[in-house]
């Protein structure tokens, strides 16, 4: 990696001149500055922002890495975070990964260069070693929604209980063929909700029917639509569907109606990650409501405590779990 000295040597100036030219703190002859910038480009020099931030103190900025803020739980979480951060004198820097491990890796690599004091992340689970490296550089890490490792603080919900309670509710309504449209099992909330669903079905001596949504989490409506078609083909007598998000549930409703069935007369539907939009639909969505804004506020307070602590090693990791709440509406 090129250094300030390397740039100075190539441009035939001293280090202080390079520093003045790059920071625009004093006059540097235009021809000299041109040579310096040419040397910077040729060497691929990047300033050590970490060292600079340490000299200048905290940046009062929190990095937020989430799959997407587009009408999802993460949008609500980010709103809660931003409001709380502003009240406490901090700002946030948001990166959307679309649950792509490579994009996540690139976002984390940029943030670790000194842009932020800490990172709140809903991780894919594929870059845990990188997160450990970043934490070793005294950059605080807090997991949000997805508890992928006990090595870091986490603010999440009780997804097992969420899946269990939703399934029990449908069983009590008389449903006997309950399908689950879930995400991929390597992401903890999906796995834990599945385990709750499985436990409730076993207790009622019922069979499970599970379809995983596509790996590309950006096509919510289409995911719900295609997964429902698959479930109905698998189980023509399907009488209930549990789905990961409200937006996927819109696709579920469309597929059910296209199959000539009615909601909730023929098929009852529950979203396992309630969003405020669900209550405003033409057929209001029954959902397991997640206190997303409160989770965002909690994660922000915890992060700022970590950032402002003098001795990070003395702090015990916290695993904070919020409870979900069943909101019964028209789809059941």
Q: pLDDT tier at 216 (50, 70, 90 boundaries)?
A: low
Cβ contact 128:99 at 8 Å: no
Give the per-residue pLDDT at 146.
94
Q: Which two tokens stand for residue 41?
A: 């480009």
Q: For position 59, what pLDDT does the model report?
A: 80
Q: Where are the alpha helices (DSSP H) in 88-187?
A: 101-111, 128-136, 159-172
Task: Tell me what pLDDT residue 113 has.
Answer: 84
Most confident of 12-21, 42-51, 181-190, 220-229: 220-229
pLDDT per residue as tens digits for the range 95-107: 999 889 999 999 9
> Tens digit of pLDDT for each residue in 54-83?
445 578 899 999 998 876 789 999 999 999
Distance CA 111, CA 130 (A): 12
CA distance 16 to 28: 11
- For residues 291 and 273, give the distance between their C-alpha atoms in angstroms, rounded to a whole number: 10
Q: What is the mean pLDDT of residues 120-126?
A: 95
User: Of all residues in the chain, what percent carry a pLDDT higher than 90?
Assistant: 62
152 versus 245: which is more confidently predicted? 152
pLDDT tier at 47 (50, 70, 90 boundaries)?
low
Whether 52 shows a pLDDT value over 60: the answer reads: no
Asked if residue 214 has pLDDT above 70, the reply is no
34 — pLDDT class (breaks 50, 70, 90)? confident
Q: What is the pLDDT of residue 25?
A: 58
What domains lie within the chain, and their CATH numbers?
Answer: 4-47 (1.10.260.40), 54-157+292-323 (3.40.50.2300), 159-289 (3.40.50.2300)
* Predicted local confidence at residue 51, as pLDDT: 52
pLDDT for the residue numbered 55: 47
- Report, as an integer, the average pLDDT of 106-129: 92
Give this prediction's pTM: 0.79
């Amino acid at each position: 990696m090129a250094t300030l000295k390397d740039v100075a040597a190539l441009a035939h100036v001293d280090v202080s001149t390079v520093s003045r030219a790059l920071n625009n703190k004093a006059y540097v002859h235009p021809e000299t500055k041109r040579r310096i910038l040419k040397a910077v480009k040729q060497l691929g020099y990047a300033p050590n922002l970490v060292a600079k931030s340490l000299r200048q103190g905290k940046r009062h900025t929190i990095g937020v890495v989430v799959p997407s803020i587009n009408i999802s739980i993460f949008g609500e979480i980010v709103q809660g975070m931003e409001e709380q951060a502003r009240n406490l004198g901090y700002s946030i820097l948001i990166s959307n990964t679309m649950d792509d491990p490579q994009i996540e890796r690139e976002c984390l690599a940029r943030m670790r260069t000194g842009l932020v004091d800490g990172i709140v992340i809903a991780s894919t689970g594929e870059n845990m070693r990188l997160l450990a490296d970043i934490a070793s550089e005294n950059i605080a890490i807090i997991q949000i929604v997805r508890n992928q490792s006990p090595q870091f603080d986490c603010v999440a919900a009780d997804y097992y209980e969420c899946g269990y309670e939703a399934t029990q509710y449908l069983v009590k309504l008389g449903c006997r063929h309950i399908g689950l449209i879930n995400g991929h099992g390597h992401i903890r909330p999906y796995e834990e909700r599945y385990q709750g669903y499985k436990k409730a079905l076993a207790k009622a001596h019922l069979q499970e029917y599970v379809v995983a949504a596509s790996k590309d989490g950006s096509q919510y409506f289409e995911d719900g639509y295609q997964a429902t078609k698959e479930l109905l083909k698998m189980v023509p007598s399907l009488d209930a569907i549990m789905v990961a998000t409200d937006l996927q549930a819109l696709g579920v409703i469309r597929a059910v109606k296209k199959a000539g069935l009615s909601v909730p007369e023929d098929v009852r539907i529950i979203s396992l990650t309630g969003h405020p939009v669900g209550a405003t639909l033409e057929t209001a969505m029954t959902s397991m409501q997640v206190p997303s804004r409160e989770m965002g506020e909690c994660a922000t307070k915890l992060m700022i405590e970590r950032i402002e602590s003098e001795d990070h090693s003395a702090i015990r990791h916290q695993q904070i779990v919020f409870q979900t709440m069943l909101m019964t509406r028209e789809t059941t």
